[in-house]
Amino acid sequence: MEVLMSIVVGILISAAVYLMLSRSLLRIIIGTGLLSHGAHLLILTMGGLKTGAAPLLGENAKVYVDPLPQALILTAIVISFGVTSFFLVLAYRSYQELGTDDMDQLRGNDQYE
Amino acid sequence: MNNLIILPIVIPFLAGIILIFFNKNIKAQKLISAFASLLAIVVSGMVVHTVHVNGIQSLAIGNWEAPYGIVLVADMYASLLVLTTSIIGFTALLFAFSSITPDREKFYFYPVVQFLLLGVTGAFLTGDIFNLFVFFEVMLMSSYMLIVLGSSKIQLRESVKYILVNIISSALFVIAVAYLYAVTGTLNMADLSVKIADMGQTGILTVIAILFLVIFGLKGAIFPLYFWLPGSYQAPPAVITALFGALLTKVGIYSITRVYTLIFYHEPSYTHQILAWLAALTIIFGVIGAIAYWDIKKIIIYNIITAVGVILFGIAANTPNAVEGSIYYLVHDMIIKGALFFLVGAIIAVTGTSNLRKFSGLISSHPLLGWMFFIATLSLAGIPPLSGFIGKLKIIQGGFEAEEFTISFVVLLSSLLVLYSVMKIFINGFWGEPSNEEVYKEKSVKGMIAPIAILLVLSIAYGFGIESISPYISQATDTLLDPTIYIQAVLKE
């Protein structure tokens, strides 16, 4: 199971890298979304995918799955939600102000404050 | 139990929350944030004193003992950096009072500065690797907002790149934590160190160590990963660049130091050798940038990169003298970079441009500013009575002891070029025929002098008072060189 998940994570991250190297800003943001999916799945996989009950003590099971990676993922998910929503609004603002979403046209020109 | 060490985190946190409620009342904003920063300085001074008297302080949050709960650990290295951070935070606020425009002040500038300080002090004080990630994100999200606040075109353009780079490095951080957790099964730094010492630093752990170097190198701008920094730091107003230049990259350096002295110290011939050469290349590319530009902001920005290289070389050489030198240099560099960016901000406020070719003869209208800039440049280059000297001396001495002659020579040569790059600003900007003297005379830099003066006086006192500071620094060095002191303080075995 871990091998399969690792391959899936690998595919997600390669897709993310491919998208982030493209010119359109929206594709880049989609790439960051895929990248965080890959990272979160990787935490879950690396914590171990052994069979066990959901980490609720009411289940009265002999074995539970590791609760720590789930807590880590939950933290990482909300953080990447916050950052992604900020990034999307920033992309919207910069599309309004700069009139392009083409990263090649966002090159530096020597205008200083 | 010792709740004192959580106060440097709690104070900016509460201040930031309170400040959100009066975002239109600028006077209250200024008062509350100045008061909170002063309080933070006092408290972090007390932390330094406590650590000096009683040794490393650790606080298990919620009474869950060390490897299971989150611990905050204040050793001397972290608490010195926290103290420096609070001082930089206070002076940056003073500088912001007179330089930030009201439209920025009304849109949550002061709360976000407090949250930035919260993230930085939290990152210094935490003893847990995932908690370090969370504090990194607190710091980075505040920095995203500060870099784009005001949304001029250049800020929008540069912040897109800045945020993208940091999102990637944060995802890498999560991935590295996942790998580390899979190998060791723990997240507490002291416990990680014990586990890795038990199982030996196998190949996979060395790979993870290099992955951490890439992540923290992206935050701290080391050689192949510094490409985002010059553009991003140039975009926001000078006071925000000062906060970034003095604090953000230093958190990256702190994390590299922590990880390489506490957790992955078993294979120095591989990891530390890579670090040493990356440091050397960082220094070289930093000085190339610093001497190439005629833009005063860019020159100082490239000097950040050079200093990052110098500090990391001290860590990579890994001899007592080199590590001690790099701590001296880190504290010095935070203070002096703050001062230099404030000075650049004041110069831009007077001249209206950061292009060095467009103004000259500033000394006739603003002599105080000129001589303060002169002292700051000498201190940056490491001229003996001032603060930059002792750190570089120790780093080079340690470099020779570790038989890294080439890189030590690079460090020496870099001082010369750093001096040239900032002296270029002094000679071309302050000397020569006064251009627009009448216009410049009217521009007052009254409120901006005080924060610069505070930092410069500190820098001079740091240089002259080495004798009184050295017990603190050597205590920090001892902990960095001997991880068992740290581990015993945290795990209480």
Average of pLDDT values for B67-73? 91
Q: Which residues of A touch B175 (CB under 8 A)?
A: 38-39, 42
Q: What's the rounded Cα separation, in Å, for the pair B329 and B334?
A: 9
Position B71 pLDDT exceeds 60:
yes
Residue B108: DSSP 8-state: T
* Each residue's pLDDT tens digit, B176-221: 999 999 999 999 999 999 999 998 878 899 999 999 999 999 999 9
Q: Does A51 touch chain B (CB under 8 A)?
A: no
Tens digit of pLDDT for each residue in A35-63? 999 999 999 999 888 888 999 999 888 99
Mean pLDDT of the region A94-113: 71
Cβ neighbors of B386 (< 8 A, separation 6 or more) are B375, B378, B379, B459, B460, B463
Q: Using a CB–CB cutoff of 8 Å, tell me whether A111 touches chain B.
A: yes
Choose the closest CB to B157 out of A36, A72, A106: A106
Q: Looking at beta carbons, which residues of chain B come within 8 Å of A108?
A: 157, 231
Residue B308: closest CA among B368, B355, B375, B250: B250
pLDDT digits (tens, 9 = 90+) for B209-226: 999 999 999 999 998 899
CA B280 to chain centre: 19
Mean pLDDT score, B6-22: 94
What is Dmax (Cα atoms) for chain A?
66
Q: What is the mean pLDDT of residues B309-338?
A: 94
Q: Can you tell me the mean pLDDT for B152-171?
A: 92
pLDDT score at B268: 84
Q: What local confidence, expressed as pLDDT, does residue A113 receive?
A: 38
Question: What is the structure's pLDDT at A109?
Answer: 54
Residue-level pLDDT at A112: 43
Q: Which amino acid is at A25?
A: L
Query: Residues B345-381: pLDDT tens digits?
Result: 999 999 888 888 888 888 888 899 999 999 999 999 9
Reported confidence tier of residue B267, pLDDT bands at 50, 70, 90: confident
- pLDDT category at B293 given cuts 50, 70, 90 is very high
d(CA B54, CA B469): 17
Which of A18, A24, A77, A79 would best serve as a mutation to test chain B binding (most B beta carbons within 10 A)?
Answer: A79
Rounded to an integer, the average pLDDT of B238-242 is 93
Percent of chain B with pLDDT over 70: 99
Tell me which chain A residues have a C-beta less than 8 angstroms from the C-beta of B140: 83
Cβ of A91 under 8 Å from any chain B Cβ? yes
B159 touches chain A (CB under 8 A): yes
If you measure CA to CA, which chain A residue comes closest to B129? A72
Has residue B440 got a pLDDT over 90?
A: no
First CA to last CA distance, chain A: 55
Could you tell me if B58 and B489 are in contact, meaning their C-beta atoms sit under 8 angstroms apart? yes
- Say whether residue A61 is in contact with chain B using an 8 A CB cutoff: no
CA distance B398 to B406: 13
pLDDT at res. B23? 80
The per-residue pLDDT for A49 is 87
Q: What is the pLDDT of residue B493?
A: 62
Contact A75 B134 (CB under 8 A): yes
By C-alpha distance, which of B314, B131, B135, B154 is closest to B236? B154
Give the span between the Cα atoms of B472 and B481, in whole angstroms.
15
Residues 207-236 of B with CB under 8 A from A: 231, 234
Cβ–Cβ of B167/A35 closer than 8 Å?
yes
Question: Closest approach of chain A CAs to the CA of B166, in angstroms?
Answer: 10
What are the DSSP calls for A45-59, one per residue?
Answer: HHT-----B-S-GGG
* Mean of pLDDT values over B388-416: 92
Contact of A80 with A36, CB cutoff 8 Å:
yes
Cα–Cα nearest to B423, from B353, B356, B328: B356
Work out the average pLDDT over B381-394.
Answer: 90
Per-residue pLDDT, averaged over A74-99, amounts to 93
Question: Would you list the DSSP string of B214-269?
Answer: HHHHHHHT-GGG-TTHHHHHHSS-HHHHHHIIIIIHHHHHHHHHHIIIIIS-S-HH
Which of B64, B132, B141, B160 is the mutation pick for testing A, counting most A CBs within 10 A?
Answer: B160
Look at residue B412 and tell me whether its pLDDT is greater than 60. Answer: yes
Confirm or reject contact between A79 and chain B (CB < 8 A): yes
For range B299-312, the mean pLDDT: 94
Q: Which residue of chain B is at minimal alpha-carbon distance from A30?
A: B164
DSSP run (H or E) holding A79: helix A67-98
Question: What are phi and psi for residue B138, nearest 5 degrees?
Answer: -60, -45
pLDDT exceeds cutoff 90 at B132: yes
- To the nearest whole percent, how much of chain B has pLDDT over 90? 75
CA distance B174 to chain A (A): 6
pLDDT tens sequence across B38-65: 999 999 999 999 999 998 999 998 888 8
Residue B398 pLDDT grade (very low, low, confident, very high; cuts 50, 70, 90): very high
- Among A9-23, B23-37, B440-454, name the most confident range: A9-23
DSSP code of residue B382: T
**Do B91 and B45 meet the contact criterion of CB atoms below 8 Å apart?**
no
